[in-house]
Every structure is written in C-alpha cells, then in structure tokens.
Amino acid sequence: MKRKTIATLTGLALATTGVSMAYATPATDRIGGIDRYDTAVQIAARTFTGHQDTVYIARGDLPVDALVAGQLTDGPVLLSPLGQVNPRTLQALQGYSPKEIIFLGKAFPASTINAYKTPGAQAWVMGGKDRQETSALIAGRAF
C-alpha cells in the first residue's frame, strides 16, 4: 500500500472510533529590545546567567560574524557598534564577569576593545583574513 492510502485508512479508523487527531502548537515567546544591541542582551540573559568564563562581542552594524556565532554554546554573544561602546552591552558584559572576552572579526579598533575590558579578563580578537576564514575559526571553536 502507498503511504497516502495508509494515512487515509488510519484517519478513517480513528474517526470511526471517536478518537480525534490533535496537533500540538509549539509555545513561542517574542524576545525584542529597543534595538538590536538590547535584543542581544535579552537573548543572552535568557540563556546565560551569572558568571560566564567567555563572552563574545560581534559587530551590530554588520552582524555577519554574530550570525555565525549563534552556534557557540560556551558563552553569550553580545553586539557592539563599530568604534563605540554600547552601554547595555557593557553592563551585560560586566554582569558576566568573564575571564575571556573574544571580539569576533578584525574590525574592532583597540580603543573599543580596551573600553570593554573588565578587571581580570583577557580580551582578544578572533578574526581571519576575510569573513570566510573568520567563520571557519568560529565554527572550529564551536565544534
């Protein structure tokens, strides 16, 4: 018998016995901040609480590296504007008290990296010669 016929017969058998077919609707919840930086902080807060050894910071104005970093599970991914410090990102970062702050991509200037450094944390850049190499480095850390 073909699958379509079996499915039809199963449905008819259930209907004649009084058993109804129910479909579960998954529960959903919207996470949204006042901007992408705040949304990243809220997503991180739902997944990571308290001290985190590692925190990742990716560009918010060009979030290619942040999208690739979605596969990382060892620490939250926060966003920062290029060349600036976002106060909500900084506050979240300080709340995690990380030992390691990893900036994704080579575009962050030293002044931004230094502004995000927290006491006792090592800050470094994970970036390749191009986006593809940076993506491979991120994936290598994830798997």
pLDDT tens string 27-78: 888 888 899 999 999 999 999 999 999 999 999 999 899 999 999 999 999 9
pLDDT reported for residue 5: 41
> Coil, strand or helix: which one is 39?
helix
pLDDT tens string 91-105: 999 999 999 999 999
Evaluate whether 127 touches 106 at the Cβ level (below 8 Å): yes
More confident site: 6 or 35: 35
Residue 142: pLDDT band (50, 70, 90) is: confident
> Global pTM?
0.80
DSSP 140: H
